Amino acid sequence: MTTRENIRVAISAIRGQMLRTVLTILIIAFGIMALVGILTSIDALKGSISSSFSSMGSNSFTIRNSGMNIHMGGKSKRAKRHPKITYYQALEFSERFKYPSQVSVSTMADQIGVIKFENTKSNPNITVMGVDPNYLDVSGYTLASGRNLTQHDLEEGLHVCLLGKELVDKLFKKTNPIDKIVSVGPAKYRVVGTLGEKGSSMGFGGDKVCLIPLSNAKLDYGSENSTYSITVKLKQITDLEPATGEATSMMRNVRKDRIGEDNSFEVTQSDSLAGMVIESMSTVTFSATIIGIITLLGASIGLMNIMLVSVTERTREIGIRKSLGATRNNIRKQFLTEAIVICQLGGITGVILGVLIGNLISMAVGGAFIIPWDWIALGFSVCFLVGLVAGIYPAIKASNLDPIEALRYE
C-alpha cells in the first residue's frame, strides 16, 4: 500500500471509533496548546520588553541608589540597595558632568496617584513623576500637543504638568486638555502639554503618567526617603563605555565614596535591564515545556491504548488483509499511519489554540501579536514523535497476528 492509501485507510478507521479518537485528539491538543501557547506569549513579551527598553535608547544609562529587583517564576535576582541619592547630589552631578550628552534628573513622586478634572477622576494607579525638561528625550516620550516643561517652570516652581495619553483619553474625552486645571493629589496643576502614546509592557503603563516639575515634586511629595534618578543619553552608542566610566567616577566624587570602597549607587543600561528580565523568564519557559511534555506523555499512553483496542477489534480485518496478500510491513505501516494521523490532527488543533491564546495573553499585558513558526514546527515534530512512539507497539502486535487465527476471531 502507498502512503496515500495508508492515510485514507487510517482516516476511515478513525471515523469508525470517533469518540475515543476525539478524546485522544483533545488530550494531544491541550498538551500542544499549553506548550505553544505559553511559549508564544513569552516570545511576544520578550519582544515587547526589548522594544520598551530600546525606546529609551541603547545609548543611555541610568544612575540610581539601587538596581532592579527581578523576580519571575522560581528565579529571582535581588538588587543591591544603597543610601538614597539626594536632590542636591543629583543636581550637582547634572551640573558637573560635561561629557557631550543629555542629562535628566527625575524622581518617583507617587505610584498610586489620582488625577481629577472637574467631576471625573482617574483610577488610583497613576505614576506621578517629578522631572526636568530633558526627561522626555531620554525616556522615549514624544509631545503630542502643547509644550514641554521648561527650566523656568522648575526655577519658579510653577504648577504645570504633562499628561499621558491614557489620562487624556479618560479625563478629556470631548475637551482640549491644554490650559485646563487638574488636581494632582492635594494640589492644582495647569496642563501645558500631552504626551504621545508610549504603550505598556508586562502590565506597566507608560501612558498612565503625570509629569510635574522636579522642584514641585520635592516640595509636595518630598520626604526623608525620597531618592532621585539620573539618566544620561549619549549622541552615539560608541560613547557608552567611556561616558559610563566618567559618570561613575563623577558620581563617586559627588557621593564621597572612598578609594577601595564599592560604589554607593548602581549604573544600569536600558538594554541590560531588558536582558535581565528576559533571562528571568527562562524558568517560566522551562516550566511550560515540562507541563506540555507531561500532558503529551499522558496523551501518548491514551493513544497507545486506543491503538491496542483497535488491534483487538480489527483482528478479523487484519486476517482478511493478510489473506489477500498484505505483508507484515503493510500492516505495521497502516497502524503507524493511524497513530501519526491522530497525533497530527491533535497537533493542528493545539497549535491553532496555542497561538491564539498565547497572543491574547500577550496583548492583554501589552505584548505584540506574533506567529511563532519555530514553536509551531516544534509542536508538529513532537506530535509526530508521540504518534510514532505510541503506535509502534500496537503496529508490531497487529503485524505479528497469525492470519488463520485472525480470520477465526469473532
**pLDDT tops 80 at residue 308:** no
Please compute the mean of the pLDDT values over residues 321-348 and round it to a whole number.
81
Q: Per-residue pLDDT averaged across 260-266, rounded?
A: 85
Q: Residue 298: what pLDDT? A: 74
- Cβ distance 6 to 326 under 8 Å? no
The mean pLDDT value for 279-292 works out to 69
Name the residue with cell 496583548.
Answer: 363
Cα three-residue angle 216-124-130, rounded to 5 degrees: 20
Cell numbers representing residue 211 in the block = 509629569
Rounded to an integer, what distance in angstroms lies between the CA atom of residue 252 and that of residue 246?
10
Between 26 and 115, the higher pLDDT residue: 115
Overall average pLDDT of the 87-107 stretch: 90
**pTM confidence score:** 0.58
Q: Which tens digits make up the pLDDT trace of 185-217? A: 888 999 999 998 876 544 455 788 999 999 999
- Report d(CA 87, CA 223) in Å as an integer: 11
d(CA 52, CA 207): 12
pLDDT at 410: 53
Distance CA(96)–CA(252), nearest Å, equals: 12
Grid cell digits, residue 265: 549607587
The domains of the chain are located at 3-50+282-408, 83-264
Higher pLDDT, 333 or 166: 166
Q: Is 227 helix (H, G, I), strand (E, B) or coil?
A: coil
In the structure, what pLDDT confidence band is assigned to residue 68 with cuts at 50, 70 and 90?
low
Question: Based on the number of CB atoms within 10 Å of its own CB, is 259 exposed (0-12), middle (13-18) or buried (19 or more)?
Answer: exposed
Would you put residue 263 in left (φ > 0), alpha (ψ -120 to 50) or beta? beta
Confidence check: pLDDT of 311 > 90: no
Residue 194 has a pLDDT of 93
pLDDT attached to residue 159:
94
Is the pLDDT at 362 greater than 80? The verdict is no
* Nine cell digits for residue 158: 510653577
- Which of the two residues, 356 and 303, has the higher pLDDT score? 356
Q: For residue 275, what pLDDT band results from cuts at 50, 70 and 90? A: low
308 vs 265, residue with greater confidence: 265
Residues 40 and 27 sit within 8 Å (Cβ to Cβ):
no
The whole-number pLDDT of residue 74 equals: 47
| Strand pairing report for 209-213 and 126-131 | parallel
Higher-confidence position of 259 and 325 = 259
Count CA atoms closer than 13 A to 21's CA, side-chain side. 18
Confidence of residue 183 (pLDDT cuts 50, 70, 90): very high
CA distance 305 to 309: 6
Q: In this structure, is the dihedral angle defined by the CA atoms of residues 167, 118, 218 and 179, taken in order, positive or negative?
A: positive
Percentage of the chain beyond pLDDT 70 is: 82
pLDDT band at 310 (very low <50, low <70, confident <90, very high): confident
Q: Which of 112, 109, 120 is nearest to 182 (CA)?
A: 120
pLDDT the model gives residue 259: 87
Q: How far, in Å, are 53, 288, 327, 337 from residue 5 at the CA level?
A: 55, 37, 15, 10
Model pLDDT, residue 376: 81
N-terminal to C-terminal alpha carbon distance within the chain: 26
For residues 298-323, average pLDDT = 74
Checking if the pLDDT of 270 tops 90, the result is no
Contact 161, 212 (CB under 8 A): yes
Measured CA angle at 162 (ends 157, 164), to 5 deg: 150
The share of the chain scoring above pLDDT 90, in percent, equals: 19
pLDDT at 120 over 70: yes
pLDDT of residue 70: 46
The alpha carbon of residue 168 and the mean position of all alpha carbons in its chain are separated, in whole angstroms, by: 26
